[in-house]
Amino acid sequence: MVTVLYFWKIERANIQKAILRMALDRSSLKKNQDISFFKLLGTGKGETFTPKDANSQRWGLLITLKAEDLDRFDHGSVANHWRKIATSEYRVILRPLSSHGQWSMREPFIVEEFSWDGPVAAITRARIKWSHNFTFWKAVPPITQALHQAPGLRIAIGIGEAPIGLQGTFSTWDSAADIRAFAYKSAAHLAAIDQTKKIGWYAEELFARFAIIEESGSL
């Protein structure tokens, strides 16, 4: 199984068409028997995780499916509808290295043991308890600042299924060692982990790490 992420950039004139695609594609994706898990995504700068971070000109799709089924999806109607309104596309094919937690009460990524010493990606996702939204937002800026300054980071953007309450990040790194250094040596990140344990911000959370098998386009 592989996980594939698409991000499409669009012109302002096509924002309404993108919103319509977010509604229409859900039904098509649910009916697609090749896909075991999917999420239509909005994106943002990933700096505060508040609505002001949102980027209405970049939209995303995450799918999990068998590698042999990807070509059929990639040439299918969902991807092509987005390409018709997009000015650019970024696509990355990922193979899960580790995954902890759940997404919408499911474990979306099937991890198979294999060795990898190439570039990696990380997806974090959380459903924040409504009573802790403001506390969470106040704690985020030091963490995101440390993330964007972390050695080995290639790209990092915010992702979400809704403007408020469902938040995440997608990032790519030169190596797994770089992610581990940020996760376990960054003072801001360690402080956030400690606060998470004490406060209990999340109703649900997930952290997954992937091998980058193929990457095309640019964010």
Whole-number Å distance between alpha carbons of 14 and 86 = 8
Residue ranges making up the domain that contains 33: 2-216
Would you state the pLDDT for residue 24?
A: 93
pLDDT above 60 for 189:
no
Distances (CA, A) of 17 to 3, 9, 62, 80: 26, 12, 19, 13
pLDDT above 80 for 167:
no
In this predicted model, what pLDDT tens digit does every residue of 87-117 receive, in sequence order?
A: 999 999 999 999 999 998 999 999 988 999 9
CATH number for the domain that contains residue 49? 3.30.70.100
Would you state the pLDDT for residue 182?
A: 81
Q: How confident is the model at residue 165 (pLDDT cuts 50, 70, 90)?
A: very low
Half-sphere exposure in the Cβ direction for 63 (13 Å, CA): 24
Sign of CA dihedral 163, 93, 124, 120: negative
What percentage of the chain exceeds 70 in pLDDT? 76
Q: How confident is the model at residue 160 (pLDDT cuts 50, 70, 90)?
A: confident
Q: Which residues pair with 59 in a beta bridge?
A: 8, 42
pTM across the whole model: 0.86
Would you state the pLDDT for residue 163?
A: 55
**Least reliable range by pLDDT among 13-22, 97-106, 126-135, 180-189:** 126-135
Question: Which of 69, 123, 35, 82 lies closest to 217, judged by CA?
Answer: 82
Q: Number of folded domains in the chain?
A: 1
Would you state the pLDDT for residue 195?
A: 55
In this predicted model, what pLDDT tens digit does every residue of 53-100 receive, in sequence order?
A: 788 899 999 999 999 999 999 999 999 999 999 999 999 999 999 999
